[in-house]
Structure 1
């Protein structure tokens, strides 16, 4: 079995209320972690490379975040609270998209050092109902996520 870095994440639905995302980045875990944890880096890739206004950023357990992405005259708001932060290993947070208000997911993001200068990021998103999960899948989430990950690749390539 060979491993290769791709530009698209592997997205599966192993359980009726979950979305499982895996993506390998060609950078050490410390750099990938920093791209998630440092707001000045996060805004460069998180919104698919579009302008992102940070309305709130409290990167600590119980802290609140809110971003507004601007794309082609449209705005997209996202927010949540951090439940757990284990530096360079794991972030657990709530996630709510303004396009599906009141439907809050729990995102559990793990950062796995592959030992060869690459990092695997695994995100498990859990929804309250299968319908909420399916609504997120049908929202364009997959293409937006892959666009953001390609912007993250570009940021990580800068060194």
Structure 2
């Protein structure tokens, strides 16, 4: 697959705001649900795509209800830490967790990711993030577009390699 084809596929993520405090991302991946689940839950695989393809250190990853996760992304513009706690882990279909960026401590969102098996080797991802305020949601909307596309392009490359 060419990098252009990966970029085009990554750009197909549909981003919407179903409520004044939510962001919803929907995208279909050309991979079975179990493979996508592994890419979302295996720290070695997460490190290859989650941070927009930048070097990502998985400092902690306790994949269980109440478990703590922490990632540190090393990007051209600096080092960015992210962390949270798992609220739900239902393999291979659903993850819910809190999400907090070190750059804005105290602003905690709740992310829920659902993986739907489409029955033809593809999987629909629906990720919903709930914020405390509309302003927090809008701030994330302004910052996430390019990073989302870059992370999903890195995920496409990983999945094409047989993750």
**TM-score between both structures, scaled by the size of structure 1:** 0.93
For residue 7 of structure 1, the aligned residue among 3, 6, 10 is 10
User: 1:31-73: CA deviations, max 9, x gaps?
Assistant: 0000001111110000011111122111111000111100115
2:77, 2:140 → 1: CA distance? Answer: 22
SS of the equivalent of 1:128 reads: coil
Q: CA deviation at 1:127?
A: 0.4
1:102 aligns with 2:109: no
SS of the equivalent of 2:40 reads: helix
Runs (5+) with no aligned partner, structure 2:
1-7
User: 1:59-104: CA deviations, max 9, x gaps?
Assistant: 1110001111001151111100000000011000000112222110
> Do 2:9 and 2:153's aligned partners in 1 also have CA atoms closer than 8 Å?
no
User: 1:106-142: CA deviations, max 9, x gaps?
Assistant: 001000001110001100100011011111112x212
2:9, 2:55 → 1: CA distance? Answer: 25
Runs of 4+ residues deviating >4 angstroms:
none
| Map of 1:24 onto structure 2 | 28
**TM-score between both structures, scaled by the size of structure 2:** 0.91
1:73, 1:17 → 2: CA distance? Answer: 28
2:98, 2:61 → 1: CA distance? Answer: 14
| Map of 1:144 onto structure 2 | 147
Aligned pair count? 154
| Map of 2:3 onto structure 1 | none
For residue 111 of structure 1, the aligned residue among 102, 110, 115 is 115
Q: CA deviation at 1:10?
A: 0.7
The root-mean-square deviation of aligned C-alpha atoms, in Å, is 1.1
1:68, 1:84 → 2: CA distance? Answer: 22
2:16, 2:118 → 1: CA distance? Answer: 21
Q: Could you say which structure has the higher helix fraction?
A: 2
Runs (5+) with no aligned partner, structure 1:
none
1:120 aligns with 2:127: no
